[in-house]
Amino acid sequence: MKSLWNDQEAAGYKSELAQRVYTSRLLGRDKSLVLHGGGNTSVKATTRNLIGENEEILYVKGSGWDLEFIEEAGFSPVRMAHLLKLAKLEALNDPQMVNELVTNMTRASAPAPSVETILHALLPHKFVDHTHADAVLAVTNTANGEKRIAEIYGDQVVIIPYIMPGFDLARLCAELFPKHAGANTIGMVLLKHGIFSFGANARESYERMITLVDLAERYLDKQHAWSLKHADVKTPAASIAEVALLRSEISRVAGFPMVMASQRDARTAAFIARKDIATISQQGPVTPDHVIRTKRLPMPGRNVDVYAGAYRDYFAQHNAKSKEPKAILDAAPRLVLDKSIGMCTLGRSMKDAYIVADLYMHTMDVIERATLLGGFIALPAQDIFDVEYWDLEQAKLKKTGKPLMFAGEVALVTGAASGIGKACVDSLLARGAAVVGLDLHANMHKRPDFLGVRCDVTSATDITAALEAAVRTFGGLDMLVLNAGIFPGGTAISKLDDAQWRDVMKVNVDANLTLLRSCHPLLKLAPRGGRVTVIGSKNVPAPGHGAGAYSASKAALTQLARVAALEWGTDNIRVNTLHPDAVFDTGLWTAEVLTARAAHYGLSVEQYKQRNVLKTEVSSRDVAELAAELCGPLFAKTTGAQVPVDGGNERVI
Ligand code: ZN
């Protein structure tokens, strides 16, 4: 492990707090030190308050902040004097501790201070750094971890036996640290938890962390427990139907839908193929920040091995910006290791699922290295239970709000790169769904809950590939928005040739049949029932001159949707159709076309756009919002319906 300190960069951070920000970010950049809001840092500084008194303040990382991206605002300023008094108490339960920390800050808008705040206050050094370094965990989580740590560090660190984070841990450190610290002490190792370093300035504290972790890495290397060799595993991959079934079953156990990411790279495949996987995957977490609840997942009808562990999603709960309730106490796993599916991670959002995946990638390293050292030992079972049920977590659970309408669900939209399709993607994302966008053209969003797939919907091969990607990325399919279509421009029937007719039918009808047929087995597995929204056209109830092929194609599609509604009712799949009209904010309607059409009717562009009963403009967004709502609970009892979105059309009414 190498120090990332850079004099030039560091010079840009002037104050002590700014220096604290800089080295905290350096720690955050190395994922083998801290992950997703894990770890914490602090600095003690004297500041002058409003009434002119000097106060000693502990600036400690606040919850909801990630060290890699932390700013000065991410540090909670807590009065040192009060913290030191608290540390002298015999006992302090977690809700009391949280209350004392929050009510003794000097900035009301600051985030809640870390649960390890009192511990930071007790260490008699200006700068304190704390990580859950993989290398240190690989050493401490073994049978003779304590002996090994003593061997690696000698009198450079004080060793603290494992105890759950919180007031009791701070008390234990307060007792043991002064007793064992000497002139050479530059850190403190918390067995099965992590490591602290400290120093007089930001650089010293940071570089001591690097030095200490580097020593652990070198030790592992010397014991041939550092570089991991992975066998090449060739197990046939499960079908997407099996993947979707697994996600459906787990959502059923949870009582709400969850998205499921799956990955089957060489590294995870090798881990899952280990002979001792049943043992090592069932032992528990490597540190209290990575808690997994382990249990066998009963999967009737599946003949693959399933080892399941539920991560208590510690970090996501600390994310103040998250509105998601973390239903940590349900029985459903958040992690599944399956030989033919790979490593599957689940959550109410893709962000949560990816956090679990990141944590477990590091967990695998720690477990394999500890195994090479002679045997991995996780936290004691009682402590895992304690961490899951501890007061602090309960308090946080109460604070979380209502989930978004489509949290944990997956939608697929065709023609997703522009117009109504693009708007549908946005409306579904805004309601918490993970969205797969199919389009001929390159796709638009770069976010964990969006997957853009280049796809020609008239190609069955392209559709198969798109569904493969969708299910392996998000775990299944709950909603389908059939939007892609072409409007070839006005051609009278007397001039309409077979080729144009067939082209329109191919995209507007045939492709949608292929999509419906291919998505049906997946929609059947949707935990809340499948939903299909078809984008039809006003031309179905009120066809226009010159739109023979288009009107006929949309009418055929509408009829197909009605039959699907009939046939799929017993599969709990709802199918509804929207008939938009005069949606001018799409690529079809350039300024020139608009001006020409308006002139044709002797109207201004403005008048032309509002040529309907309500004298209103219809936007892509209007259509998309209704398309999304049709999939939501308001329409839970509606299927086979056709709803106009046209501002009112006299020929339709
Ligand atoms: Zn910690």
Cα 289 to ligand 1 centroid, rounded to whole Å:
7
Q: What is the mean pLDDT of residues 260-264?
A: 94
pLDDT tier at 243, thresholds 50, 70, 90: very high
Cα 131 to ligand 1 centroid, rounded to whole Å:
6
Q: What is the mean pLDDT of residues 218-235?
A: 91
Active site residue 550: yes
pLDDT tier at 339, thresholds 50, 70, 90: confident
Mean predicted lDDT score pLDDT of the chain? 88
Q: What is the mean pLDDT of residues 397-415?
A: 83
**What is the CATH number assigned to the segment(s) 7-222?**
3.40.225.10
327, pLDDT greater than 80: no
The secondary element (H helix, E strand) that includes residue 50 is none
pLDDT score of 289 = 61
Q: Which CATH architecture has domain 240-399?
A: 3-Layer(aba) Sandwich (3.40)
Q: Give me the percent of the chain exceeding a pLDDT of 90.
A: 67
Give residue 343's Cα distance to chain centre. 15
Q: Which region, left, alpha or beta, applies to residue 472 given φ > 0 means left and ψ of -120 to 50 means alpha?
A: alpha
Q: Which of 105-109, 400-404, 542-546, 622-626 comes out lowest in average pLDDT?
A: 400-404
pTM for the whole thing?
A: 0.88
Residue 555's CB is within 10 A of a number of other CB atoms, namely 18
Cα 294 to ligand 1 centroid, rounded to whole Å:
21
Nearest Cα to 212, choosing from 286, 158, 152, 160?
Answer: 152
Nearest Cα to 261, choosing from 481, 14, 471, 565?
Answer: 471
pLDDT in tens, 151-171: 999 999 999 998 888 899 999
Domains of the chain, by residue range, sit at: 7-222, 240-399, 410-583+618-645
pLDDT score of 385 = 52
pLDDT score of 591 = 85
Q: Which of 85-94, 328-337, 577-586, 609-618 comes out lowest in average pLDDT?
A: 328-337
Q: Which two three-digit tokens encode residue 373?
A: 């050292």
303, pLDDT greater than 90: no
599, pLDDT greater than 50: yes
448 pairs with which residues across the strands?
Answer: none
Report the distance separating Cα 31 and Cα 68, nearest Å. Answer: 9
Q: What is the mean pLDDT of residues 65-81?
A: 95
Cα 196 to ligand 1 centroid, rounded to whole Å:
9
Cα 229 to ligand 1 centroid, rounded to whole Å:
29
Report the distance separating Cα 197 and Cα 186, nearest Å. Answer: 6
Task: Provide the CB-side half-sphere exposure for 385 (13 A, CA).
Answer: 4
Cα 635 to ligand 1 centroid, rounded to whole Å:
47
Cα 387 to ligand 1 centroid, rounded to whole Å:
13
358, pLDDT greater than 90: no
260, pLDDT greater than 90: yes
Cα 8 to ligand 1 centroid, rounded to whole Å:
30
Q: Give me the percent of the chain exceeding a pLDDT of 70.
A: 89
Cα 193 to ligand 1 centroid, rounded to whole Å:
6
- Asked if residues 75 and 67 have their Cβ atoms less than 8 Å apart, the reply is no
pLDDT tier at 56, thresholds 50, 70, 90: very high
pLDDT score of 35 = 82
Identify the residue whose tokens are 């403190």: 188
pLDDT tier at 394, thresholds 50, 70, 90: very low
248, pLDDT greater than 70: yes
Cα 331 to ligand 1 centroid, rounded to whole Å:
26
pLDDT score of 383 = 59
Long-range contact pairs involving 275-284 (C-beta distance under 8 Å, separation at least 24): 276/371, 277/305, 277/307, 277/337, 278/305, 278/307, 280/367, 280/371, 280/376, 281/307, 281/309, 281/337, 281/367, 282/307, 282/309, 283/376, 283/377, 283/378, 284/378, 284/379, 284/381, 284/384
Kindly provide the b/e burial profile for residues 481-493, where b requires at least 16 CB atoms within 10 angstroms of the residue's own CB: bbbbbebbeebee
pLDDT score of 652 = 93
DSSP assigned state of 492: -
Cα separation values, 531 from 240, 298, 307, Å = 19, 28, 31
pLDDT score of 223 = 95
Cα 365 to ligand 1 centroid, rounded to whole Å:
19
Cα 287 to ligand 1 centroid, rounded to whole Å:
8
Q: What is the mean pLDDT of residues 508-525?
A: 98
Cα separation values, 117 from 43, 60, 83, 611, Å = 11, 7, 8, 65
Catalytic residue among 22, 206, 314, 550: 550
pLDDT score of 589 = 79
pLDDT tier at 338, thresholds 50, 70, 90: confident
Instruction: Indicate the fold that domain 410-583+618-645 takes in CATH.
Output: Rossmann fold (3.40.50)
322, pLDDT greater than 70: no
Give residue 63's Cα distance to chain centre. 18
Does 410-583+618-645 match 240-399 at the fold level? Answer: no
508, pLDDT greater than 50: yes
Q: Which of 130-139, 264-273, 279-288, 410-419 comes out lowest in average pLDDT?
A: 279-288
Q: What is the mean pLDDT of residues 291-298?
A: 49
pLDDT in tens, 10-31: 999 999 999 999 999 999 999 9
Q: Which of 187-196, 385-394, 479-488 comes out lowest in average pLDDT?
A: 385-394
pLDDT in tens, 369-387: 999 998 888 776 555 555 5
Is pLDDT larger for residue 323 or for residue 438?
A: 438
